[in-house]
Chains A and B, each alone.
Chain A
Amino acid sequence: MRIRKEMFADERRDDLVLIGKPIRRQDIEGHVTGRTQFFDDHLVPGLLHIRCVRSSEHHARIRAVDTREAERVAGVRRILRYADLPKKAHNILTIFNFGIDDEPALADGKVRYRGEPIVAIVAESLRAADEAVAKVRVDYEPLPAVFDVEEALKPDAPLVNEYIGRNWFRYWGDYDCQQIRFGDVEAGFRQADLVIEGRYQMSPIEHAPLETNGCIVVPGEDGRFTVYTCTQGLHFSLDNVAAQLKLDTNRLHFIGGTVGGGFGGKVDTVVEPLAVLAAMLTGRPVRYVFSRAEEMQVSSPRGAERVYITDGVTRDGRILARKIVHYHDAGAYSRLSTYGTIKSAAHHPGPYYIPNVWVDSFCVFTNRTPSSAMRGFGVTGGDFALESHMDVVARAIGMDPLEFRIKNAYRDGDMKAHRKLTEGAALIECIQVAAELAHWPLSEEARRASSRIGGGGERAQIPPTPKARTRLAEPRARSAALEARRTAAAGPSRAITPPPAWTGGGEPTAGRERVEAERLRTAEPSAPPEQRPPEPPRPTHSHGALRFSSVFGSRRR
């Protein structure tokens, strides 16, 4: 590692003690001697074990669950059900006053994804629990399921999550997506020599940590519960378990911090609530660990993301306008996807100065496994789309892909679409060094470019920005959904109400720009451009987005 002083003379000190020097992990001696204690290495006698009966259906109403035979299996101590839950639905972000409690820890009369837990068997051995699981009879009434984000947003799509009430998350009280408006993309497309569209799709990715999600809960004499857990966010999980079980936090003692691979997949706090509840109800120590098959099927993956990008470019390689429609497949429940969607919007339009930007990032619910955090979720998928598209556009205009990036890269002093001035830009220099190492020829101009030169001035201005709020048509089943939410335990109603009219109703977006034109409408398309940018939407709840970063350690952008 070395700092390019010729490029960043005043950027860093020379007397760094760690960077560029080999260092040992503080925990590595424990790892190589087998002394590191993961949660499951705490040996507790007299454990009960949990195995869940999981939905075989993607989407179904549950008519009945018959556990009579399962209860008779020798060694079964308790069967946990929806009725046992102190709090009927929960989302891990609502402890920060963000989001909606939308997920019951055990099925509430409906299952919304395959593998969803319906009842939890608590037994003396895993074998006994497995036998009991095999003996539980679930009577399903299958419902139509939706697996595609764009299908899910159609007004007649089956409603996935009644707690949410529509198949997308509504931000800040009144926004159907997390949106960015900067300048006028339509005007930008009109000025452009070429308008190039792309569609990018990522599949869900399972973290597959070597240690599966799990915990051991030991009830103490003092009414406290000691929880040995693999969670990545010890205090975050503690707070969430307390909220979900309506316990004072001082009744929980979490021990952890040693994680057998997390990658973002161990913040959801899915095993701890049921294990603590089982320990409360039985008075016994309880172990709940996902089998490998459960880890692969039901632990939340990185969500599938679909991204449409439309760029307006000049023949000489300037991006004049970029419009992005980004869909996050949250699966059946929010988990952290509501936040991942915010991150994607915050990351777009990539590290490039573009005078006209439009971003719509939707958090969409489908009948797939709930997705959640994984290494830069929202950002990584967005980057995959953005950088793929950069290559596509460079090819279309016959320009070298690195030169094209250098030409459009942020320079210090540039106004970002988020209305922040760029500081400390270094993309140009990174590309130059990478090109040098890869013996990739760059033009004289590209080699002389600098993040310090060419920014600011006119590029520091916030362009006139027409107001345009994206509105989706409400689902037909919406009022039924609200009804259902009230009676969730008994099983949601299926009454169908006529579709509400389209809101807005402006003219479709420009002819060349077909992406989403038939479905998305802008609320005020003909409003005169404002000189001042609209106020950024204020969160209806307090400190939501601000606090995420401190919890997950991801930087705010």
Chain B
Amino acid sequence: MATAVEFTLNGNAVAAIAEPGETLLSVLRNRLGDTSPKAGCLQGTCGACTVLVDGEPVLSCLLLADAAAGRHVETVRGLAQGPQLHPLQEAFMERFAAQCGFCTPGMLMAAKALLDHNRNPTRAEVIEAISGNVCRCTGYLPIIEAILEAARRLSARG
């Protein structure tokens, strides 16, 4: 039996119907129209569906939608403040950290999970933070550089 799930999505209260067994990824994309998290594998291996739930990175393709009930869900759509892009977004643009762009939303959310807790990550910590995210285009280096650059900008801002 389908049930209603309520949570906040990028700060806004939302409600959606979910079938039993329906994942958060499916509800975000198909029911709430936020297609920013991507379905790259539906098996947990690619990280393209990464979103934050109460600040923690999760694989939305493997999380039952109602496990998000009453919690705070963040996607890339909520990263910018109005027209002002998040430093991660700016750095990704400047450092050519996206080619086809399919991994980008998941990468950005994995990176945000890191920077929200740690404004001065080491390179090793950055690599660890995105170790569950696959990128087939860039070879990762520009992504790592972009995250380090964003961290510098964030900590400079204080």
Chain A residues engaging chain B, CB cutoff 8 angstroms: 22, 24-25, 27-38, 40-41, 43, 127, 207-212, 259-263, 291-292
Contact = CB atoms under 8 A, between A and B. Distances in A.
Contacts of A210: 38, 40, 46, 48, 100, 102-103, 134-137
A38 B37 CA distance: 11
Given A261-B136, A261-B137, A31 B40 contact: no
Given A28-B92, A28-B93, A261-B137, A212 B101 contact: no
Contacts of B93: 24, 28-29, 32
Contacts of B108: 32
Contacts of B92: 28, 31-32
A43 B135 contact: no
Contacts of B77: 33-34
Given A33-B77, A43-B33, A261-B137, A28 B40 contact: no
Interface of B: 21, 29-30, 33-43, 45-46, 48, 75-77, 79-80, 85, 88-89, 92-94, 96, 98-105, 108, 134-137
A32 B98 contact: yes
A259 B35 contact: no
A28 B98 contact: yes
Contact of B38 (A22, A27, A260): A260
B136 to A, nearest CB: 5
A34 B134 contact: no
Contacts of A208: 136
A33 B96 contact: no
Given A32-B104, A212-B40, 19 more contacts: A25-B98, A27-B101, A31-B101, A32-B76, A32-B93, A33-B36, A33-B89, A34-B79, A41-B29, A210-B46, A210-B134, A210-B136, A211-B40, A260-B40, A260-B100, A261-B100, A261-B136, A263-B136, A292-B40
Contacts of B48: 210
- Residue of B30, B39, B79 with most chain A CB atoms under a 10 A cut-off: B39
Contacts of B45: 292
B35 A209 contact: no
Contacts, number: 101
Given A43-B30, A210-B102, A210-B103, A34 B36 contact: yes
Contacts of A22: 94
Contact of B42 (A37, A263, A291): A291
Nearest to B98: A31
A34 B39 CA distance: 13
Contact of A36 (B21, B30, B101): B101
Q: Which 3 A-B pairs have the closest CB atoms?
A: A34-B36, A31-B101, A260-B102
A31 B41 contact: no
A22 B88 CA distance: 19
- Residue of B33, B89, B93, B101 with most chain A CB atoms under a 10 A cut-off: B101
- Residue of A28, A127, A291 with most chain B CB atoms under a 10 A cut-off: A28
Nearest to A30: B101
Given A29-B93, A32-B76, A209-B136, A260 B41 contact: no
Contacts of B134: 210
A37 B36 CA distance: 9
Nearest to B78: A34
Contacts of A27: 101
27 contacts: A24-B94, A28-B92, A29-B93, A31-B92, A31-B98, A32-B89, A32-B93, A32-B101, A32-B104, A32-B108, A33-B89, A34-B76, A34-B79, A35-B36, A40-B35, A209-B136, A210-B48, A210-B102, A210-B134, A210-B137, A211-B100, A212-B40, A260-B38, A261-B136, A292-B40, A292-B43, A292-B46
Nearest to A40: B39
A36 B48 CA distance: 14
A210 B99 CA distance: 12
A291 B42 CA distance: 8
- Residue of B33, B76, B79, B136 with most chain A CB atoms under a 10 A cut-off: B136
Contact of A292 (B30, B42, B85): B42
